[in-house]
Structure 1
Amino acid sequence: MRIRTGFGYDVHQLKEGLPFWLGGIQIPHTHGALGHSDADVLIHVICDALLGAANLRDIGFHFPDTDPQYKGIDSKRLLHEVVRLLQERGYQIGNIDSTVCLQLPKVNPHIPEMRRVLAEVMRVDEDDISIKATTTEKLGFVGRKEGVAAYATVLITKA
């Protein structure tokens, strides 16, 4: 069995009046993430980590922000395509460990639903997805509520 790991990191600016998508669900908040797609930072880091683990470059390579077909796209569709690319090459997802850095809104109450939605999109067990949330103790752009950051590591296997 072949085992590979991948890492993803992403940030998005927060803007008043935009919908806030995180982990495939819309979370009520006054500010949302700015981006070419729906700007779901958690899905983006999971995509990057999976693509990196399989040595398939990154999310921007596969879904460039210069391509109008991805304008406003639901990031769950991007994740579904990334999983398809991995499966084509014989890889299976072992597990995902992720962290979202955000002052507000509080993420913890939404984690069970995010895990459910992401597991459904990727066709894995919810137990294979870890989502953690933290603040930056009011430091930096996250602490000033100007943006959101996320990190993910993944393990994939190939028989």
Structure 2
Amino acid sequence: MLEIDLYKNGEDEKFEEYFQRIHKLLPNWPEEVVKEWLYRHNNQIEDYFYLGFHNFKFSLEKWENKKIMKLINSHKMDYVIDPLGLQILDKPYSFLQKYIHENGTWPSPIIVLKNGNDIISDNKEFLGKPYHLLEGHLRLGYIRNLYKNNKKLKKEHLVYIVKKEN
């Protein structure tokens, strides 16, 4: 039932309607997380569905650049996140690139899972430890590449931390 309701999002469904429906199923989920992850990336929900979305508890924290660089990991870091993030070093052309260049941070927090265990994905890959990136691959790639190249960044960035409650 939950999976069907999450996938019900169609191009003609406004976010407000989607959020009202999803909030009944996932009351622990902040509105911004629903919008940035479930609504905007509806075709990628199944990537982490096995984790049990109803068990997620969220907190919003400020993290320094060094903490982001050191603690957030992903099995996609070397072949997706960092290579895609190189785009930010060229002349910024997209909304996201311009925003990050002008503000030194991302427009909405990335979402990471606290992974103290060896969680294995449905694809038999270990999730990143101690924090695994769930949503915000391009944003993280941009910040990582700006940091590595000593470009102007804010000292801290907002990050949604997800903990699984059993």
Structure with the bigger RCO (C-alpha within 8 Å, sep 6+) is 1
Task: Flag the structure with higher strand content.
Answer: 1
Radius of gyration: which is bigger? Answer: 2
With the length of structure 2 as denominator, give the TM-score of the two structures: 0.30
